[in-house]
Amino acid sequence: MSHPSERATLFTTPESIPVLDVTTEQLDRQNIVGFRNADTRARPFKLLRSQILRRVQEDGLKVLGVTSAAPNVGKTFVACNLAAALSRIADMAVILIDLDLHRPAVATRLSFDPDGLGIQDVLAGDAELDQVARRIGEERLVVVPGFRREVATGELLTSPRGEDLFERMHAVGRDTLVIVDMPPIFADDDAVIIAKHLDGYLLVAQDGKTTAKQLTETVRMLSPAPLVGSVLNRFRTQILVDEYGYGMSYGYGGYY
Ligand SMILES: Nc1ncnc2c1ncn2[C@@H]1O[C@H](COP(=O)(O)OP(=O)(O)O)[C@@H](O)[C@H]1O
Ligand SMILES: [Mg+2]
């Protein structure tokens, strides 16, 4: 199988990235439904992916962040499922990078070995990206996981290795999208540092929990990074995407 990401320069030898075999059951248990084209639960992510795909094809979007005002609103849930759904588009490759350095969660969601190496080790100079990345089964999705380390995250992100990582993200081909699972805005300044290197970001809000004031403040803090869309995640009822006047809006319902 040929993967468009192999033309990317983020990895030195993309063709030899080890494969992580994850079963459908494991993905299901972690609410990862984006690979399931025929599943109704994947529908919101298929709608979201078509909007994002347009931005990739028409505006050359390459590096997309997923963030929120506060933790636990479903950022990782959205990032993983969107990455999965987009990787199912012919000729698209997706690279998902966990940059929520304090509370990395992508590895757990995708059933990585918890004793493995992650992006923190790459930023600290203890590992190379090619070593920590895994291709998910036969999918056109490559994941760079994170594992919690006692590190000064802001210093890592602004170090020469951090700068190099962001530069390489932008060197991927036009057929590749890098999705960055981010920390929330109000934790520390990591999200603001990351936002400087994004082509745009998705803002995840939780219905009944995230306030309008938090959203406006978030957009202000991340400026001038463009807000590409907002996702209103309704836990256990449905996932909706709504418009509040910025960028594009997504409208869909029926998740759970
Ligand atoms: N729409 C949803 N339906 C069911 N569970 C969800 C939904 N959104 C998030 N979750 C779950 O809620 C928890 C927190 O979500 P997560 O994506 O980790 O949030 P964040 O990354 O913003 O901290 C996770 O266990 C996740 O699987
Ligand atoms: Mg998260």
Q: What residue ranges define each of the domains in the chain, with the CATH number in brackets? A: 4-229 (3.40.50.300)
Ligand nearest to the CA of 103: 2
Rounded alpha-carbon distances, angstroms, from residue 53 to 17, 101, 115: 25, 27, 34
What's the 92 CA to ligand 2 centre distance in angstroms? 24
Ligand 2 center from residue 162 Cα (angstroms):
20
In DSSP notation, 141-158 reads EEEE-----S--HHHHHH
What's the CA gap between 7 and 173, in Å, rounded?
6
Atom index in ligand 1 nearest the CA of residue 103 equals 23
| Angstrom distance (rounded) from CA 170 to CA 191 | 18
- C-alpha of residue 126 to centroid of ligand 1, in Å: 31
191 CA distance to ligand 2 middle (Å): 12
Q: Is 74 in the pocket of ligand 1 (CB under 6 A)?
A: yes
The protein residue with its alpha carbon nearest to ligand 1, atom 9, reads 74
C-alpha closest to that of 189 among 105, 99, 78: 99
Helix (H) or strand (E) holding 98, with range, is strand 93-98
Q: Is the minimum distance from the CB of 235 to ligand 1 under 6 angstroms?
A: yes
**Pair 45, 32: CB distance under 8 Å:** no
For ligand 1, is residue 129 a contact (CB within 6 Å)?
Answer: no
206 lines ligand 1 (CB under 6 A): no
User: Relative to the CA of 184, which ligand 1 atom is closest?
Assistant: 22
Atom of ligand 1 nearest to the CA of 181: 21
- Give pLDDT tens digits for 97-133: 999 999 999 999 999 999 999 999 999 999 999 999 9
Q: What residues have CB less than 8 Å from 140, skipping those under 6 apart?
A: 3, 4, 5, 87, 88, 92, 93, 94
Q: Is 67 in the pocket of ligand 1 (CB under 6 A)?
A: no
Atom 8 in ligand 1: residue holding the nearest Cα = 74
Task: Quote the CA–CA distance of 239 and 254 in Å, as a whole number.
Answer: 7
What integer pLDDT is reported at residue 206 of this predicted model?
Answer: 81
- 212: exposed, middle or buried (Cβ count in 10 Å: 0-12, 13-18, 19+): exposed
Ligand 2 centroid to residue 10 C-alpha, Å: 23
pLDDT of residue 2: 45
* Residues of the chain with confidence (pLDDT) below 70: 1-8, 234-256
CA of 71 to the centre of ligand 1 (A): 10
